[in-house]
Structures are given as structure tokens and as C-alpha cells.
Chains A and B, each alone.
Chain A
Amino acid sequence: MRATVERALRQNWERLFSYGLRLSGSRDHAADLLQSCATKALAAVPPDDDEHLRAWLFTIMRNIWIDEHRRGQAALLAAEEAPEDGDWRHDDRLIATITVRQALERLDPAQREIVELVDLAGFRYGEAARILGVPVGTVMSRLSRARLSLLNAIEGGNLHPLPTRLRQTS
């Protein structure tokens, strides 16, 4: 049983750390969260189903973080209503790794968390819902709102990729 958990921890080490970083915003705290998560996971009975093992580890980390910051839980609660996208006027050419990275930093914690779980850690909506303890519909609306915020942050950012014309002449 310990070997199963160890293997899962090894396979998800980087992603768990990244998730801890998103939750806490601090490298040191993320490293502490990672160790606490490993300690708890190794002492607990893992789910029988390998498919749920990964989500179980993320859930443990999230619960540790919430326990430590119970007073700050309100920060995790985002508006859950479906987003209004209004007139579509986003410029796809602005979407690049660097602008996306900057925009991610501007998202509120709940939105960053859902992007981290679905887009970066690769969880299905159902798995993310179990980790967050919310209905799947909430994951859908939170994620779509987060992506809209991401696009708005990219549009409103100060750093844009060089226009194609300038790149050609340099």
C-alpha cells in the first residue's frame, strides 16, 4: 500500500508542488505543503482505484492548506454565476506563452486554482469537482470564467508579443 502511494507521489511530485505554489504563492510554503501532503498520504489508506489516487493526493494537499488558512477561505470563493462574454473581440495573436504566464499571475486564487487543476494538472471536470468539493457545474462555470479573465488579462497586459511585421524586419 505504501509502495502504491510512493509511486503516485513520485509521479505527481512536480504537479503537486506546482499546485501548492498556486495555493500558497510561496515556494517555501509550497515545499512545506508538499511534505505535509506526503506525510498524510503515506499514513492514510489510499483509494482502491488507481484512477482516483491522483485526485486523492491533490485533495489531501488542498485540505492541508485550507486547515492552515481556515480564516482565509473566503479568498477561495469565487463568483459562480456563468460568465458573460459580451462582444467577441479577442485577438488570438496576443495569446503566447509569455502573455499567458503574466495573465495567470493576475487571476484571482480560485480561478488560478481551477486552471491549474484542469489545464495544467490535466484533471477531468469530475475529478476537479471532487478535489474542490463542488458540483461539476461549478467547475464548468468557474473554469469558463477563469479563461475569460485570462483572455481579458492578456488583452489588458502591458507586454505583448512583437507584431509579425516588426519581427520580420529585425
Chain B
Amino acid sequence: MSLIDIEDLRVGFPRAGVEAVRGVSLSIEAGECVAIVGESGSGKSVTARTLVGLTGPGASVTAARFTVDGRDALGFGARDWRRLRGRFAGLVLQDALTSLDPLRTVGDEIAEALATHDVVPRAARRERVIELLDAVGVPEPEVRARQYAHQLSGGLRQRALIASAIAADPPLIIADEPTTALDVTVQAQILRLLAARKATGSALLMISHDLAVVSAIADRVLVMKDGVIVEEGETGRVLARPRHDYTRLLLAAVPSAISRGTRLSTIAAGGIALRTPLPERTVDHVAPILEASGLTAVYGSRTVVDDVSFEVFPGETLGIVGESGSGKTTVARLVLGLLEPASGEVLLGGEPWSGIPERGRRTRRSRIQVISQNPLGSFDPRYTVGHLVAEPLRGASSGSGSRRGAPFGSGSRRGAPASWRKDRVAELLDRVGLPADVAGHHPRRLSGGQRQRVAIARALATRPDVLVCDEPVSALDVSIQAQVLDLLAEIQAADGTAMIFISHDLGVVHHVADRVLVMRSGQVVEDGYVDEVFFLPEHDYTRELLGAVPKPVSAGP
């Protein structure tokens, strides 16, 4: 008997006028791992939540058949669903920090799951909590059980959440993007944990936007788009021989060593995803545009960046990889002149950039710009898109000291005239593939990909020599990520901009970078040409990182 068997499931939110799920059929057998893959807005999370009756207020759920644990769930009331959750299906969500009660210890949280379903006698609960934490690989479970969610690292939090999900030993675990916020090595641990759970006979429903993560663990994959399942099949078959064009596009959009030099956003035609080459770009190896030597940064008594040196040439992309807390972003702040190094120095275009008063940097700031992970956070909340993109052009003396020179006000403190700015904004928006009327919009009304395009347009406004990209695509779906990476590559080829590309995603870095720095605990453990470092890693840590990457996905036949 199937654990879950649904046919023609439809979930709508009549008040918002949205139909999120439009006719999904799905069955999950005991001991099986099923994955639903799709972009944000595809309806995958709504589907998962519907399975445990958490669709939310105001949702209308219809189905031709909807049986859970052999019972007809269409007539379920709140109480029936409550009895099901935890007991029959454990839920693991992406953000463990918000899923765990901040005012209760991790141990209490898990004990509650035990108490609700009366699984073990009260006296044995404490002991069982420790056992559960131990089972999910939390070191020192006695200590951790007494701690609060915020005192744990992301990986430990996610483990604690899994422990509470499996507390009542449910036959099914529903995991909604369980590893999305995690580093690659931690992700590998969590996936191993889920796989071990599956090996004991528990069924698993995984929701993810990441095909690679899914391929490591799922038996069957369902590809979802706009509320409909477009392709369904055994994992190996779907990845190797996708039948639907959308699946092909998704697979081709995954950046990796294979995709280097080609566009990620492809057109699926005649059953194959066509890879078109990116424009040629040339690296000018004569003089580095940016040099960092012996950079060290200290917060309080902690050394977060320790003796980091590198150089970047015009037209080149330097990748920086490492886990969270490895000092990647601090390096970006040092390079941007937002943080003074405790020792070491940065040279921009051969001239001192660190260790000088801000006044000396101000006129040259237009030469180095940044694109961050969260564009919305870097936008003044009062500004429209046009205003944002024009911002670097006004106020500061745009382009003074630049080789190219601005048409107006070179060296003067005043910005360029408004009419020129307006034309330039339209030109920049056009360049990043946004329609001109977006200028009047507020960024909150744009999608994540469009916002990142606005951020890129703004960074390009002053025609910088160096672009620092700090996890620029980490918050984006794989197909949107593909478009943004293609855009950055085109810009680099046309302008000869040097790029520092920071990411925790090794595939992305392998796709974009010429050379790479591998960072750990503030130190560079390995650096060199990206193919050499990733194909022939010398340092153990690099090997560990690479080994943790879910096995690569081949893009079509």
C-alpha cells in the first residue's frame, strides 16, 4: 500500500486568484525517495505542504483521489492532520533557525515531538532525545540538547530539526529544500543522514530546485513547472535522457566544468539543448589591475583573513571559494576599501588603495564596484530603479581618474547633467536586458533575477575596471542563475572588466573563473588555474570540498 497516493491534485488560493498546483498525481511507497524539482513558483512546496495539511488559510484543495496512510484525506479536519504530522510524516524545512523555537532548547523541542505523540514514557524522554541527537550525528548530544537554536551552527541546527522530525519515527519524511542554505560539505553530511534514514525503510519526499542534490539521493524525480508535472521518471533516466524540453533546459543551466565557455541559458530544439559559445574574452597579462599582498583582517581578537595575496589582470576572473566563515566576504570588503587591513596592502591600477585616507580613495571608487548576494539590501528602500542606477553617476565625480574618462565633469565634484544621466540609465538597463520602463518601478516589484540585473546595471554605470561579485547568484533559481552568469560573461567580454567572483558553489566557480583561491579559516590553502585546482587538487581541504559536491550531472545526450 502506498503511503501517499494522490491523483489530480489542485490547490488554489482563490483570494489571491492563483492556482498553484494544477493537476498533480503522485504516489510514494514505503522506503522510496521521491524528489520534486522545480523553480520558485512552480508549486513544489505547496504540493509538499498539502500532503500534511499545511496549505494555509484560504486555500482550496481538490483531488480525484487523496489518500494518506490508506485513509481518505479529503475529509480531514485540523485534528486529523495534527495527529498525522510528526507521527506519519516528519517535516524538515529549509530554514532551521525559523523552524526551531528561539525560546526553547533543542532538547525541549525534540522532547515536545515525543510528548505530542506519546511515543515513549515521560521518564524515558530525556534519554530518547539524546539518542535521537546522537543518531543524526550531533556531537556531544548532552551539551547540545541544552542549547538554543541560535547557539548551533547551520548544519547542527538542520540536524536537530531532522531529529525532531524523526522523533516519532514516522514512515515518511518531507524535506523542503533541506540543504539549500548550507555549505557544500555540510550539505553532503545532511544528504548522507537522509540517505541513512531511507536505508532503514523510511520514505522520503525531497523538494529542491537543485538537480544535483536530488540526483545524489532520489529514486524517482518529478520535474514541476507552473503547477504541473512536466516529466517524471527514474532519476538516472531523467538526468541522462530527459524527455521534456524544460528538463533539458534545467540540466543545461547547471554550471560546471563542462559548461565553461558556453552559454548556460540554452534553447532546447529538436530534443537537444544547444550549447552556444560565449563571446571570446582576452586577458591582458601585462599589468595587474588589482594586487593584494599579505592581507590580514582582525575582528576583535579573531583573525578572519590571514596573509592573503593575489593579483587580478584586466579581463580576468578570479574565483574565491570556501565555506561560510572562511573569510571570503571579508576579502571582498578589504578589496573594496570598506575595511582597512590590519596588515598588507591593496593596489588598484598600481596605486595604493588601502592604508590611505578615504578622501584619497573617493575619486577612484568608480573604478571598482560590487554586486552582492542580496540586491534588495543594497538598494535604498526609497529609490526607484532609475534613481538607483543613476546614483553612481551623480554626486561623486564619475570617472575622474579613469582611463576612459566621463563625458562630463571629469575631475570636478559635480555629477553629469540630468538629461545625460537619463539616457545613460536607459542604455544601462538595455544592456542588462531590462525594458526601459522598469526605470520607474520600485525594485520590490521585480523578481529576484530582475533585481540582480538592476544591481549589475548600477555597478556598470561608472564603467569600472574591477567588479567584485559576492555570491551574486546564490539566491537565484538555476535557470535565472544561468541568465545572470551569461550576462556577466558577455559584459566581461565586451568591456574587459576584471572580476573577483566569490561563491560557495564550486560548479559556478569552475564555470566562470580563470584562476581560483580556495579559502579556509581566513587562509588561502590552494590557488591556481581553475582546471588544475579542481581536477588535480593538492590540498586535502580542496579534495574534501570537491568530494562533497553531489555527483555531477551530465547535460543531455
The answer to whether A and B come from one shared complex is no
